[in-house]
Amino acid sequence: MTLDAALSVATGGLRLLDRQMARTSDDIANAGTAGHTRKVLDGRAVTVSGNGAGVRAQAATREVDVAVQAAAQRAGGDAAAAGLRAHLLGGVEAAHGSPALGDSLGGLIAGLESSFVALREAPADAVRRSAVVTAAGELAGRLNDVSQAIGTARQGAQDALRREVAALNEALSEVGSLNLEIRREIASGRSSAALEDQRDLAVGRIATSLDIAVIRGQGGEVTLVARGGLVLPLTPGATPFTMDDATIGTGAFHGGAGTLPGVMLNGRDVTRQLAGGRMGAAAELRDATLPRMQAEADLAAAQLAARLDGQGLRLFTDADGVVPDPTAPYAGSTMIGFAGAIRVNPAVAADPTLLRDGTHAVAGAVGGPSNFTPNPAGGPDGFATLLDRVLDFSFGAEQAAGVAQPGFATTGLGPDGTLASPLSGLRTLAEYGAALVAEQTGARATASAAEERASSLQSLLQGRFDERSGVDVDAEVAAMVQLQTAYGVNARVISTIQAMWDALFGAVR
């Protein structure tokens, strides 16, 4: 090998080592930076006419386990979705009160029944009549609180959808811009590793909004496909997803003749195609879970008012004095929103003797309550006919002897009549109230448990990803020492060649 060739090899090695040390220093400096992955910078031997002529540095590349990365992103999306559910359902759980303290819906129904039992023992006792009115007011207030909490959570889901649409558009635009930059860098023979790190961060943000699959192209670009086959546009600066603002009422729904806005993709409604992540969770809460919960609360309120009214005591009404018919189809009925409107009948609150005497007559009918005539003015103070009817039938499983109460509807629920409830096979008010509380408060606990599981899985997968693709500072420092040693060796080679040149020139002189 000539001295020129030896010098070329040595200087090429120094340049490679210099770039590798710079790469290692950058990895160490950014070890704690979100999204930064370990970079690898290899050299390629250069030959001229079959003879070695040194080494040339390749473009830096990443060591990324894309399978683990995708699994971690999916777990992150699951955690984000469950976290949103737990947050919004937490208000509903709080509004239900505490079953242990007896102030939940089931406990307050039992408390109202107990107050009637006490009044039955002394129908003329004004204090006991007042206690029934108080218990009825507390029960109506609890239903009002639950309905308001469900409405607040549903509005929160609507607002979350709007926020996610804006965040999704921003992240999609960023991925589109980075796709272009990465293609240019690769086409120019330069490293795109740092840009790929940035793109992965943006893709990770998208994965918290929607469950997506990442398809990697040969030119370095990626295509994002949401669950269900929805291809996400990656146009820099564009806002392909749009959604109008809305204030949600209890009777509002999305789709068909509904008035709630949908998530639009280039003018096409894709709300029902959203799956996974916070967008999928928000859409499901707004359009299914919370409307179903509202319907369950409305049914409880309507059955409560109607079962008492059917025996001759109009204890609960809405502001217009209406008692809904719980046997009618829920969609389009006066039951919608009744849990938020129910109140103690002002006539009963003003004259609690009506609790003993009755508010109206009942004309008995086959398949319904038996006939009832109220206690007339000046009637006996110990009149107990109505109280017996209330205790035997309003709070029982029958309307009259041998006549079952109408069941609580489990299908045809929601403002559009498309939802179903799991609360089936229940007959009494107390049973339904207790089951409703358990089901609706348990939804938050279920969401919290799902969030914990998904977060734990995400942490596990992220740890595995970091082991394979992240920066190990100790290993990088050790590599730096090796590079410095190699640099010193190459420097000595150059010094030796320089000495040989000097000796050669001296001999020529």
Predicted pLDDT at 24? 63
- Give CA–CA dist 115/98, Å, rounded: 20
Name the residue with higher pLDDT: 376 or 492. 376
* Mean pLDDT for the stretch of residues 11-18: 56
Closest alpha carbon to 255 in 242, 271, 268, 274: 271
Is the pLDDT at 52 greater than 90? The verdict is: no
Predicted pLDDT at 157? 98
Angle between helices 429-469 and 66-95 (to 10 degrees): 150
- Give CA–CA dist 439/446, Å, rounded: 10
55 phi, psi to nearest 5 deg: -140, 145
Burial of 246 (0-12, 13-18, 19+ CB in 10 A): middle
pLDDT tens digits, one per residue of 93-144: 999 999 888 899 999 999 999 999 999 999 999 999 999 999 999 999 999 9
DSSP 8-class letter at 472: -
Q: CB 410: neighbour CB atoms within 10 A?
A: 17
* Mean pLDDT for the stretch of residues 390-415: 95
pLDDT tens digits, one per residue of 256-298: 888 999 999 999 999 999 999 999 999 999 999 999 999 999 9
**Long-range contacts at 186-193 (CB < 8 A, ≥ 24 apart):** 186/219, 186/220, 187/219, 189/59, 190/59, 191/39, 191/59, 191/60, 191/61, 192/59, 192/220, 193/37, 193/39, 193/59, 193/60, 193/61, 193/62
Residue 150, both tokens: 């469900």
With cut-offs at 50, 70 and 90, classify the pLDDT of residue 2.
low
- Give CA–CA dist 89/448, Å, rounded: 10
Q: Map out the domains of the chain as residue ranges.
A: 3-60+485-508, 69-456
Closest alpha carbon to 228 in 262, 282, 279, 266: 279
- Kindly list the strands in the beta sheet with 268-269, ordered across the sheet, starting from the edge strand earlier in the chain: 241-242, 264-265, 268-269
pLDDT tens digits, one per residue of 229-264: 899 999 999 999 999 999 999 999 999 888 999 999
Predicted pLDDT at 47? 62
Predicted pLDDT at 364? 84
- Give CA–CA dist 230/156, Å, rounded: 25
Question: By the 8 A CB rule, do 350 and 146 touch?
Answer: no
Question: By the 8 A CB rule, do 387 and 128 touch?
Answer: no
Residue 276, both tokens: 């996974």
DSSP 8-class letter at 393: I
With cut-offs at 50, 70 and 90, classify the pLDDT of residue 193.
confident
Is the pLDDT at 213 greater than 80? The verdict is: yes
Is the pLDDT at 58 greater than 60? The verdict is: no
Report the percentage of the chain scoring pLDDT > 90.
70
Is the pLDDT at 28 greater than 70? The verdict is: no
∠ CA 202-160-153, nearest 5°, is: 150
| Residues in a beta bridge with 225 | 213, 231
With cut-offs at 50, 70 and 90, classify the pLDDT of residue 478.
low
* Mean pLDDT for the stretch of residues 8-37: 59
